[in-house]
Amino acid sequence: MENPQGLEQAIKLVSDTYSPLTENTKADFKQAAELFTLEKSTILIREGEHVSKTYFIVKGAARAFYLKDGKDITDWFAFENEFITSIDGFFQGTPSSYFIELLEPTTFLEISMQNINKLCNKHHDFDRLGRMITTRIMLQLRSRIVSIQFESAQQKYESLLKIRPYITQRVPLTHIASYLGITLETLSRIRNPKNRI
């Protein structure tokens, strides 16, 4: 609760981006959430932990990653106006298989599942907001599957650049490579114009 003004603005952002909330709901939302600013590389969630919170990025960036045979695999990026959490832990109540890490100094809104449930029960429009958020994520996941499934490494990279043109300026290539399901070496070759036919 570093800055109540900022929190109000963050809530307005959520409401404007996903689904409008009444002033009444926003007021309760404000009581239920907190705003933080933390430095780059901060780990918000660790593998194996119980996950009770989700994060909405106001300014900055974060990623979700997991370890597969010791290798760091990025599964999700979140930038301004997007949510991030350990999706399995948060929604299924199971221990997190993900880490959530800040990629930049980041200001974010934090809210617990418990408070979300309270708000959902009290306010129809907050439940609606939840539906809109999950719907949007569902659609993002779907198009990612289509992309992964039948695109070459090159095409996958280009598809990502279309959705997130700025990503290479903000995120190390290693994370982009593992997100795309290709190796760092392959990504490097793709990006090198000398290797074009």
Partner DNA sequence: CGAAAATTTGATCGAAGTCAATCATTGTGG
Partner DNA sequence: CCACAATGATTGACTTCGATCAAATTTTCG
- Range 58-87, binding its own copies (CB under 8 A): 68, 73, 75, 87
* 183 DSSP assignment: -
Binder of residue 154, out of its own copies, DNA, none (CB less than 5 to 8 A by kind): DNA
Taking alpha carbons only, the member of 87, 42, 35 closest to residue 57 is 35
Q: Closest CB to its own copies among 79 and 179?
A: 179
Site for its own copies in 24-53 (CB under 8 A): none
Euclidean distance between CA atoms 172 and 167, whole angstroms: 9
Q: In angstroms, rounded to a whole number, what is the distance separating the alpha carbons of residues 32 and 166? A: 33
Stretch that binds its own copies, among 41-49, 107-115, 124-132, 184-192 (CB under 8 A): 124-132
Based on CB atoms, which residue is closest to its own copies, 121 or 195? 121
CB nearer its own copies, residue 32 or residue 73 = 73
Cross-strand pairs, 109: 35, 56
Picked from its own copies, DNA, none, the partner binding residue 192 (CB below 5 to 8 A depending on kind) is DNA
Q: Which residues bind its own copies (CB under 8 A)?
A: 68, 73, 75, 87-88, 91-92, 120, 124, 127-128, 130-131, 134-135, 137-139, 141-146, 148-150, 181
